Amino acid sequence: MHELKAIRCLIVDDEPPAREVIRRYVVEVPTLQLVGECANAVQALTFLQQQTIDLIFLDIRMPQLDGTNFLKTLKNPPRVIFTTAYPEYALEGYELDVVDYLLKPVRFDRFLKAVNKAYAPASQPLAPMPAPETTLEEKRNESFVYFRADRKMQKVMLPDILYIESMKDYVKIVTTQGTIITKQSITSVESMLSEKQFVRTHRSFIVAIDKIKSFTNDLIEINAAEIPIGKLYRNGVLKLLT
């Protein structure tokens, strides 16, 4: 069996925490090789003139030159996976024939799916490196997501989340450490969470199952907060809890 050629990757994003997430994911996939990181499109343009790149993880909203206009300047661009916190850019990304579109904060399974879409044969999908056994504390430290708030990506530990509330165009994440408000839909947040740990109780609420103190047919109590159970969600919620 011949050895697979490494896929040379470049990360282009003006936010260091966002680059850190993608960098960590790239390292976990043995067929990916991280060649470089750039904080803006101008740096990336210079980098591409000096290095051969197979795949770019490209942020859309950046200073000086955004990702879509940067991509339009390339005559023979490598394959591109867009990364952004703004879902309204998805259509424009697909019109530019990018491989995929990852919504921040990016989950590893979604990242892997995008890379498989770009390169892996159907019979041999890319796989992450087998991880060594970890302690419970180490596993807890790996259980986190990033949310964009106050113009930066903030890490939130999943075991710290109490509940999540939709506020029109924003979402409030209430944790044991405080509250974070981010511009994101509750549906996109729900897709980032494990069904074993969280349950949607209402069109505007998601709760952490292990933080539920008590419940009735209509309400769930978490600390001092009373979370409604919507009619459309009641049967599923009560079946799960009972």
Q: What is the CA radius of gyration of the chain?
A: 20
Second CATH level (architecture) for the domain 136-241: Beta Barrel (2.40)
Residue 209 phi, psi (nearest 5): -60, -40
Q: Kindly give, in sequence order, each residue whose CB lies less than 8 Å from that of residue 86, ignoring residues fewer than 6 positions away.
A: 60, 61
Higher pLDDT, 153 or 220: 220
Higher pLDDT, 96 or 157: 157
Asked if the model's pLDDT at residue 184 lies above 60, the reply is yes
Asked if the model's pLDDT at residue 3 lies above 60, the reply is no
Second CATH level (architecture) for the domain 7-118: 3-Layer(aba) Sandwich (3.40)
pTM of the predicted model as reported, rounded to 2 decimal places? 0.53
Q: Which amino acid is at 3?
A: E
Q: What does the pLDDT read at residue 185?
A: 85
Give the long-range contacts of residues 156-161, CB within 8 A, separation 24 or more.
156/180, 158/193, 158/194, 158/197, 161/198, 161/208, 161/211
Domain positions in the chain are: 7-118, 136-241
